[in-house]
Homo-oligomer: A and B are copies of this chain.
Amino acid sequence: MVKSIFEELEKPAPKNHFTVGIVDDVTHRSLPVDETFDIQPEDVVQSVFFGLGADGTVGANKNSIKIIGEETDLFAQGYFVYDSKKAGSMTISHLRFGPRPIEAPYLIKRAKFVACHQWQFLDRYDVLDCAADGAVFLANSPHGPEEVWSRLTVETQEQFLAKKLKFFVIDAYKVARATGMGGRINTIMQTCFFAISNVLPAEEAIAQIKKVIRKTYAKKGEAVVNQNCAAVDQALAALHEVKIPDSVTATRRKTPLIPAEAPDFTQRVTSIMLANKGDLLPVSAFPVDGTWPSATSQWEKRAIALEIPVWDASICIQCNKCVLVCPHAAIRPKFYPTDALQAAPPTFKSVEFRSQEWKGSKYSLQVAPEDCTGCTLCVAVCPVKSKTDPKLKALNMAPMQPLREQEGINFRFFQGLPAPDPARLALDVKGTQFREPLFEFSGACSGCGETPYIKLLTQMTGDRLLIANATGCSSIYGGNLPTTPYAVNREGRGPAWSNSLFEDNAEYGFGHRIALDKQTEYARELARRLSGNLGQELVDQLLGASQTNESEIAAQRERVRELRRRLAKIEVGEASDLYALADHLVRKSVWIIGGDGWAYDIGFGGLDHVVAMNAKVNLLVLDTEVYSNTGGQQSKATPRGATAKFATGAKRIARKDLGLIAMTYGTAYVAQIALGAKDSQAVKAFEEAESFPGTSLIIAYSPCIEHGYTMGLSLEEQKLAVDTGFWPLYRFDPRRADAGEPALKLDSAPPKVPLERLWASERRFQMLKDPQTSKDLLAAAQADVQKKYAYLEKLAAKG
């Protein structure tokens, strides 16, 4: 049954199957569905539009529904389908128009009009699958009407011919540029839809679009209105019908979404979901226990960056700061013996590694071109200036497409290069970045301020890491399907990740710890009981092992391997129990991760409970100071004066200080960090938290698009947050108190820049319309900052 479904999927141009029911080949209780069944009368116009998240397609379609619904006698309906990726993902709009109220609570399977607003989708997805016979297909294409047919694959051409489709093209990006609209193609594509879909008489529709334009942009002045109207007119001029030959002329076939070297599950299941056909997967395709394979984001290759960084090896000082700040683990360094370069691709770059300890090694910095999102943070952090051109750094942005193939080959070669033994790497900014990230290529926004912290964590503890993740952005990009950014190293070890509820994540992670401890306790007890069979010396070593650093942990893993070898030969029932539990003799690291909505609000009761219990767990708060994932509700971390999308009146009270609260226990390690402001302090905090014998809490400043500025500037912004005193950096370590020192150590200087500077650079502080209120709030917020620093100074003072 499974086989046949997969075979079916592999056929070119299968039957319409956008919304078949569940195929339950396990209990066999599902009913067969006639995929061709459609009850929509012919006078209902059904249209499907494929767009890219944030390209304006969904907005334009909502607009079209408004025009038709309000300005004509027709009834309208719209469904909008998209996944939870933050940007760069596909959106599908399903629109129906007809002379009677539309009662169709399901998606469109046979559209009379299909539009593909992104040319690259044609190769990637089966966008014609939903086209009815004789439908009109509109593509935004860089290729003109004469050339475009030859750019299609065999499979696509076959569909055109089999369904007798009509084909229109427009180079919408070209029109947009020409009319001063930049990259905004939504109005242009909307115009084309009305021009060729026959929902309304074309002239009437165009008049309506212009009416809406006048209404929408009136405030922005006549120039903007005219610009948009010009775009409409030029769209009509640039729209062409394509003449379709009688037969297939292409020789190029669609390339598989997932390469052949990917693991079996990725090929059989992930690829189907990536092709947007996950609904077709039979029940048997899913893992029995709900565990989902990780390390799959590496196969997705979204290639959404327009520009990627290019390395100037000649001036690079090998600081690895670019690697640290990259939110997508898309730029990586390595040092390795020179002879590893023998099979290097021709354009692969390397230089002498600047190191006494590793003298004679080579150093490379490599970008993963299809995984980079083009956020520019690596360039921003680069401390090097070219002597020949001060505008150039050791990393500079360049268009991706010309580099894609070559750098893709280079990245694959780079990954095959030998990696250094982590036990020999320092736990500082540079050293940690030579460790393999086990969190890569997530669906987080380009320039995300949260993901660098998670990536750093996986570099330091990834091979023994359990994560309990609260609901929020980190649960979306962390556990999103079809692919998973948490990865495994060459030995197959990587983070185990799970997500319970918004309101119980700290407790959930606390439970991880309790379960681990119990299993370890039992493993130790079994080892003691079996010591006669296993040899007292090995058992003593296993139970007495110090596991405070990488080499000690490596040694313990070797002992566990030896233990398993010996256990395999023992025919005592308990031996198989210990065999199963043996990995629990190696130290595990439990991290409880979430955003401020979780930590300050909904899950705070549990977070407080865990801190109070002083269990050996670590808490990481990715503090964006707002509910980012749900689109902007105020949290208790939201600072005074900041607005949020759903709290436009601005916060009137100071933000809650989670760090100070945790410090009142005196028993927890507490750090407040900002990677972009002081990377060494951030790395130090992770090291100290991990080694602390009780609960640790790291509150990590996480810039977010909700703050209202370009994420490429977020490093500077973090510095500003620290320099204004808005975000003091500190580490509170009870071990210092045991040594008679103040536990609290301030890692940032007293406020030296007025808070106004920070407010001026983030839109969230500028949305209030009443200038007096805004001024009052700024004054109060400035007072907050002074008070908070004074409070911390008191606590950090000796005696």
Q: Chain A 72-109 against B: per-residue CB contact (8 Å), 1 yes, 0 no?
A: 00000000000000000000000000000000000000
Stretch at the interface among A175-183, A471-479, A618-626, A664-672: A664-672
Whether B653 and A666, one on each chain, are in contact in the complex, defined by CB atoms closer than 8 angstroms, is no
Q: How far is the CB of A107 from chain B (nearest CB, A)?
A: 40
Give bound CA distance, A604 to B653, whole Å: 20
Q: Given A604-B608, A794-B794, are A664 and B657 neighbors across the interface (CB < 8 Å)?
A: yes
Whether B667 and A653, one on each chain, are in contact in the complex, defined by CB atoms closer than 8 angstroms, is yes
This protein's copies in its complex: 2
Whether A609 and B601, one on each chain, are in contact in the complex, defined by CB atoms closer than 8 angstroms, is yes
State which size class the interface on A falls in. 20 to 34
Q: How far is the CB of A439 from chain B (nearest CB, A)?
A: 30
Whether A612 and B653, one on each chain, are in contact in the complex, defined by CB atoms closer than 8 angstroms, is yes
Give bound CA distance, A653 to B615, whole Å: 11
Give bound CA distance, A604 to B506, whole Å: 15
A660 at interface, CB cutoff 8 A? yes
A787 at interface, CB cutoff 8 A? yes
Instruction: Give chain B residues whose Cβ lies under 8 Å from the Cβ of A656.
Output: 608, 612, 664-665
Whether A613 and B653, one on each chain, are in contact in the complex, defined by CB atoms closer than 8 angstroms, is yes
A614 at interface, CB cutoff 8 A? yes
A605 at interface, CB cutoff 8 A? yes
Q: How far is the CB of A175 from chain B (nearest CB, A)?
A: 51
Whether A636 and B612, one on each chain, are in contact in the complex, defined by CB atoms closer than 8 angstroms, is yes
A661 at interface, CB cutoff 8 A? yes
Give bound CA distance, A667 to B612, whole Å: 23
Q: Return the chain B residue nearest A600 by Cβ.
A: B612
Instruction: Give chain B residues whose Cβ lies under 8 Å from the Cβ of A666.
Output: 654, 787, 791
Q: Return the chain B residue nearest A795 by Cβ.
A: B794
A797 at interface, CB cutoff 8 A? yes
Q: Which of these, B605, B661, B791, B797, contacts A661 with CB under 8 Å? A: B661
Q: How far is the CB of A298 from chain B (nearest CB, A)?
A: 39
Q: How far is the CB of A781 from chain B (nearest CB, A)?
A: 13
Q: Chain A 229-249 against B: per-residue CB contact (8 Å), 1 yes, 0 no?
A: 000000000000000000000
Q: Return the chain B residue nearest A660 by Cβ.
A: B664
Instruction: Give chain B residues whose Cβ lies under 8 Å from the Cβ of A794.
Output: 794-795, 797
Query: In the complex, which residues 355-395 of chain A have their Cβ closer than 8 Å to any Cβ of chain B?
Result: none
Q: Chain A 762-799 against B: per-residue CB contact (8 Å), 1 yes, 0 no?
A: 00000000000000000000000001000100110100
Whether B636 and A654, one on each chain, are in contact in the complex, defined by CB atoms closer than 8 angstroms, is no
Q: How far is the CB of A728 from chain B (nearest CB, A)?
A: 14
Give bound CA distance, A86 to B113, whole Å: 76
Instruction: Give chain B residues whose Cβ lies under 8 Å from the Cβ of A608.
Output: 604-605, 608, 656
Q: Return the chain B residue nearest A655 by Cβ.
A: B612
Instruction: Give chain B residues whose Cβ lies under 8 Å from the Cβ of A667.
Output: 653-654
Query: In the complex, which residues 634-677 of chain A have their Cβ closer than 8 Å to any Cβ of chain B?
Result: 636, 653-654, 656-657, 660-661, 664-667
Instruction: Give chain B residues whose Cβ lies under 8 Å from the Cβ of A613.
Output: 653
Instruction: Give chain B residues whose Cβ lies under 8 Å from the Cβ of A787.
Output: 666, 737
Interface hub of A608, A664, A787 (most chain B Cβ within 10 A) = A664
Give bound CA distance, A481 to B367, whole Å: 73
Q: Which of these, B605, B664, B737, B791, contacts A605 with CB under 8 Å? A: B605
Q: Which of these, B614, B737, B795, B797, contacts A653 with CB under 8 Å? A: B614
Q: Return the chain B residue nearest A636 by Cβ.
A: B612
Q: Return the chain B residue nearest A605 by Cβ.
A: B605
Instruction: Give chain B residues whose Cβ lies under 8 Å from the Cβ of A797.
Output: 794
Give bound CA distance, A667 to B656, whole Å: 10
Give bound CA distance, A145 to B46, whole Å: 99
Q: How far is the CB of A193 from chain B (nearest CB, A)?
A: 48
Give bound CA distance, A626 to B631, whole Å: 41
Instruction: Give chain B residues whose Cβ lies under 8 Å from the Cβ of A665.
Output: 654, 656-657
Q: Return the chain B residue nearest A614 by Cβ.
A: B653
Q: How far is the CB of A471 from chain B (nearest CB, A)?
A: 16
Give bound CA distance, A654 to B609, whole Å: 13
Q: How far is the CB of A161 from chain B (nearest CB, A)?
A: 63
Q: How far is the CB of A653 from chain B (nearest CB, A)?
A: 5
Instruction: Give chain B residues whose Cβ lies under 8 Å from the Cβ of A604.
Output: 605, 608
Q: Return the chain B residue nearest A604 by Cβ.
A: B605
Interface hub of A613, A614, A656, A797 (most chain B Cβ within 10 A) = A656
Q: How far is the CB of A777 from chain B (nearest CB, A)?
A: 15
Q: How far is the CB of A500 from chain B (nearest CB, A)?
A: 16
Q: Return the chain B residue nearest A611 by Cβ.
A: B656
Q: Return the chain B residue nearest A794 by Cβ.
A: B794
Q: How far is the CB of A297 from chain B (nearest CB, A)?
A: 35
List 10 A-B pairs, minimum CB-CB distance, nearest first.
A605-B605, A660-B664, A612-B636, A657-B664, A661-B661, A661-B664, A612-B656, A794-B794, A604-B605, A614-B653
Q: Offer 5 A-B interface pairs, CB within 8 angstroms, sorted by A.
A: A614-B653, A654-B665, A654-B666, A656-B665, A666-B791
Known A-B contacts: A612-B653, A661-B664. Give 7 more (CB < 8 A): A605-B605, A608-B608, A612-B656, A657-B664, A657-B665, A737-B787, A794-B794
